[in-house]
Amino acid sequence: MVKTVQLDDATYEALRTFKTGGMTFADVIRRLMEGQDPEAFQAAYRRWQEEALARIRSDPAFKPL
Give, to the nearest 10 degrees, the angle between helix 9-16 and helix 25-33. Answer: 80
**Half-sphere exposure of 33 toward its Cβ, with a 13 Å CA cutoff?**
9
Cα–Cα distance for residue pair 64/58, rounded to 1 Å? 11
Average pLDDT of the residues in 50-62: 94
pLDDT of 1-49, one tens digit each? 999 999 999 999 999 999 999 999 999 999 999 999 999 999 999 999 9
Beta-carbon count within 10 A of 30 CB? 11
Percentage helix, strand, coil for the chain under 3-state DSSP, each rounded to 5 = 60, 0, 40
